[in-house]
Chains A and B, each alone.
Chain A
Amino acid sequence: MKAIWVIAGNTFQETIRDRVMYNILFFAVFIIGISLVIGSWSLNQQVKLVKDFGLAAMSIFGLLIAVFIGIRLIYQDIERKTIYMLVTKPIHRWQIVLGKYAGLLLTVFANIFVMTVSLLVVDLLIEHHVDLGLLPGILLILFEIMLVVAWALFFSSFTSPMLSAVLTVLIFIAGHLSPGLKLFTQLHPENASNKILLFIYAVLPNLENFNIKTAVVEHLALPPLTVPNAVLYGIAYSGILLIATSLILEKRNFK
């Protein structure tokens, strides 16, 4: 366990210094701030607009940070041969994977924290009180990013950064469109390929499970246990991906 935290701390220190991340973070905070101006064009819907923009910015830029940094995490160590320093030590490869993952998650968490504070400050300026009802939405954004990071790490364990980025983005798109597969099977129960579609639906991550942005902004009632179920889903799915990544790295020859 200590090895995991040491690697995580190291990864966090490494990634927190990445200039790409600061550019993205600055842009995200800027977008949250600019929503104050855009909101004034919305005919008294400024509060809703600011919250929608803020949550969307958090999600999009959090994902960008996760993808840009996550795809290089393991690949970079392999290219620079710095991975040898880790594999020659008495630590397992799954500990390396978990450590890298935890380190990147800490980085993402730090970024989301900064964006959350920005959003709540802007919200305080407009509404004169802080809407803590946004926090469940932000929590699920974090878990969505966690899942995407796990995919990015998985791809980066066996392919180049460019291809990892493309595949991760495709997974993101497919994840948001996957509920359409289930809907199709429900609307066309007689369709011969329904079993295949349902299998694909089960395998693909359903990222809509984490999408409660509209509900938290408009204070809509959610079905009970939505948030806990989504959190457990995210943890379990990420766990499977991390196990797969560990297995790939275990078999991989770094020469």
Chain B
Amino acid sequence: MNRKLYIYAGLLLAIAVFGGIIQITRQNLDVYRTPEKALQDLIYLPDGHVLRWASLGYTSLMADYLWIKSVLYYGRHTVDEDNPFYKIIKKKFNLSGDNGYLPESDSGRTAQASSKKDFDLSRDRRLRAIFFNFRSRGMAPFIYPLLERVVILDPHFIEPYIFGGLYVMMDTGRLKEALHLLRLGYKENPNRWELPYYLAFLNLFYLGDSEAALAYLKKAVLQPGAPPFVENLSVVLSRRLNKTQIVIDYLMGIYNSTTDPNVRDKILKVLHELAKR
């Protein structure tokens, strides 16, 4: 009986000692687990086509995993008051608000193509302040490579195209990558009206090329499920009405077509700004 008691006591003591060691080492290791460290997660990923083979048939699962990684990565690096890492980013990048406008060299077009600007929002001071105010410019440099891997793994996963082509672009000003992503999406999903619609949006609002925008809108109109406002917009654009009205109609179209609350919120903010100015 005594022997058993000693054994149980010994075991309890061992558990207590191990528990203490766990507690102390955990506290020591948690010192290194800071929000700054979380922001430094480097992303080493092979090319999307390599990942496709490596996934052994589980391409959708890997695409979903990378999609969540992309969303979390972008959320941590974006300049937004809701971002818990915002203070660290603000301090790190010495931010003070307006990040400036998209320079011509970032448009991703040749000099010859940019001379086609017949719908230049940047000439209108108030529209420029709304649409070319890229708060998170320079942030999240890996977002587009991540999104590209997602869509290579699952080319019919539409949300990454829209997220990168619209939401990230309006926040970071990375037009070239946004156009590339949307064109990739359109090539893989020619029957979706959303992709040519957003391509038209970028061409019109950021490249000032109403001809290219109209061409994309006409393609969008022909796709199954295209809402009536797409056709209305193509008619309006072809009549070349007042710029602000086109902008409002386009934004309302995007607002009505998406269920993403973040995109809807952003569009509402832009519309309120337009109404104020």
Contact = CB atoms under 8 A, between A and B. Distances in A.
Interface of A: 38, 41-45, 48-49, 52-53, 55-56, 59-60, 172-173, 176-177, 180, 207-208, 211, 213-214, 217-218, 220
Interface in B95-134: none
Contacts of A173: 56
Contacts of B159: 43-45
Contact of B71 (A43, A56, A172, A207): A43
Given A176-B56, A214-B59, A42 B156 contact: no
Contacts of B61: 52-53, 56
B57 interface: yes
A214 B53 CA distance: 15
Contacts of A213: 57-58, 60
Contact of B156 (A49, A176, A177, A214): A214
Contacts of B260: 43-44
A61 B56 CA distance: 15
27 contacts: A41-B68, A41-B71, A42-B67, A42-B68, A42-B71, A43-B71, A43-B159, A43-B260, A43-B262, A44-B259, A44-B261, A45-B67, A45-B159, A49-B68, A52-B60, A52-B63, A53-B61, A55-B60, A56-B58, A56-B60, A56-B61, A59-B58, A176-B57, A213-B58, A214-B59, A217-B60, A218-B157
- Category for how many chain B residues contact A: 20 to 34
A194 B60 CA distance: 31
Contacts of B58: 56, 59-60, 213
Nearest to B259: A44
A52 B156 contact: no
Contacts of B156: 214, 218, 220
Given A42-B68, A43-B71, A214-B156, A180 B53 contact: yes
A207 B58 CA distance: 12
Contacts, number: 59
Nearest to B258: A44
A48 B64 contact: yes
B56 A177 contact: yes
Nearest to A219: B156
Contacts of A218: 156-157
A162 to B, nearest CB: 22
Contact of A48 (B57, B72, B157): B157
Nearest to A50: B64
A52 B157 CA distance: 12
Interface in B208-263: 259-262
B261 A41 contact: no
B154 interface: yes
Given A41-B71, A44-B159, A44-B260, A52 B64 contact: yes
Contacts of B53: 177, 180
B53 to A, nearest CB: 6
B161 to A, nearest CB: 12
B186 interface: no
A56 B63 CA distance: 12
Interface in B140-187: 154, 156-157, 159, 163
Contacts of B57: 59, 176, 207-208, 211, 213
B168 to A, nearest CB: 12
Given A180-B53, A214-B154, A218-B156, A43 B163 contact: yes
Contacts of A49: 64, 68
B195 to A, nearest CB: 15
B265 to A, nearest CB: 12
A7 B261 CA distance: 57
A55 B58 CA distance: 9
